[in-house]
Copies of this chain bind each other. A is one copy, B any other.
């Protein structure tokens, strides 16, 4: 699948080469690259740069790096930034060992060329990649094993394009299945039976948990670059939509793709290209950051990064499709629910802002600043002894947890206002809690300070001070990232993100280590079936 994408980009690149090789004004300035070098530049750009700077280089989490801007800088300066990174948050790709000196030099030249526009990706191309490995009628009618599906975990093995399904009771790795490349999330189906994943290469994989061992039963590639997937959950007066559809949000092409929930057959594509909510200028690449299924109606909540719009997409009638386009804030990223599951809470990270959408009234509820680049993941909700129902976020840009009121009915005085702040071990990606737990766990994956990204910190709900209750070094290799609770809320699973990675399982009450599951290549995110289906966090 991945090769397929690169092949198509290469066709564009070949045209671009010709263009750059012969066009007068570009030939004067853009440094020469061979076709082979240009193709390598496309691949490295896709893997390392596009996520923050955008495929068309218009900027998002990272700044705009169009040809015109890059031609104003010397190759030496560009190489330095690529190799060593910046204080503003750009990783030093040479320093971290992800790029060689030679690749750094190549990329400095590459970004002085015009960004090649990758091709569109429509229904005809998708259908060619669609495979139903086990037809719905040929799938077992009941689980072919005695395990508790609700307590299974889906774990991303990021850099090997695999997912591990692990028994949450026995801690056994039941099966590793082939997925897309660099998967971002697993979503359990509304019925709990299936896991759906989507790779950065836009490949959806559907895993049946009824089989003796978890098995891929369908796959399809629906984007060139993707991040998010969810399923339809509504069951009510309009009909039963449990697992009827899945939806993928693409980064490129900028579009939503609705597929059949049982076979992954693509049904409908909707472009997200439109205008920025505030300045009303056209954006050619509004990427779909996060998607969650509404609990209030037959809708998906879709956060679109560059336009700053949150779309409510009603899946009850695809031929007469309703979309509510909510003006929110630019550079939307990740989010989840408050405890009532009425309010969708999402970060607009480059605006240091948290946005709240009321999915019942279908409008913006609030937006407020929290800190440098908030990153709540799916979020964390608990009862604060002083402030009642609160939610929280950690930050990509500083070592801070910010707690805010999230109960507009019970505590309108502090709803969507910051009530507490605390320090963490450094800039991080995720925090996590569970209704049965007294703790909030957080990583500091992005911390640059020696050893800080190997730490875990925990705050106590009952006694939330300026400093964590406890921080400790959890690994001597790799980085700590992401947490998930088991179904009962008694165990916390953390990933050691490393080629020779592992999962550390803690007793949530004692904060003591119970077990390490070793032999996992680059484990990152993980999802417990029950907690994912029921949005418990």
Q: Which residues does A use to contact B, with CB under 8 Å?
A: 18-19, 22-25, 120, 122-124, 253, 255, 266, 268-271, 273-275, 279-282, 317, 319-327, 362-364
Contacts and interface: CB of A to CB of B under 8 A. Distances in A.
B279 A271 contact: no
A122 B363 contact: no
Given A22-B24, A123-B275, A270-B274, 17 more contacts: A19-B19, A19-B23, A22-B23, A120-B281, A124-B281, A253-B282, A255-B275, A269-B280, A270-B275, A271-B273, A271-B274, A319-B326, A319-B327, A320-B325, A320-B327, A320-B364, A321-B326
Nearest to A313: B325
Contacts of A363: 317, 319-320
Number of identical monomers bound together in the oligomeric complex: 2
Given A24-B22, A255-B275, A275-B270, A281 B123 contact: yes
11 contacts: A22-B22, A122-B282, A123-B275, A124-B281, A255-B282, A269-B275, A270-B274, A320-B324, A321-B324, A321-B325, A323-B325
A23 B255 CA distance: 32
A320 B281 contact: no
Contacts of A253: 282
Contacts of A324: 320-323
Nearest to A326: B320
Contact of A266 (B280, B323, B325, B326): B280
A24 B16 CA distance: 12
Contacts of A255: 275, 282
B22 A18 contact: no
A280 B122 contact: yes
Most B Cβ at <10 Å: residue of A18, A279, A319: A319
Q: Which 8 A-B pairs have the closest CB atoms?
A: A123-B280, A122-B281, A320-B363, A271-B274, A120-B282, A269-B275, A321-B325, A269-B280
Contacts of A317: 363
A488 B347 CA distance: 59
B282 A320 contact: no
B320 A322 contact: no
A67 to B, nearest CB: 13
A71 B266 CA distance: 35
A323 B282 CA distance: 18
B320 A279 contact: no
A322 B323 contact: yes
A25 B260 CA distance: 43
Contacts of A122: 275, 279-282
A270 B281 CA distance: 10
A63 to B, nearest CB: 20
Contacts of A320: 324-327, 362-364
Contacts of A270: 274-275, 325
Given A120-B281, A274-B270, A281-B122, A322 B322 contact: yes
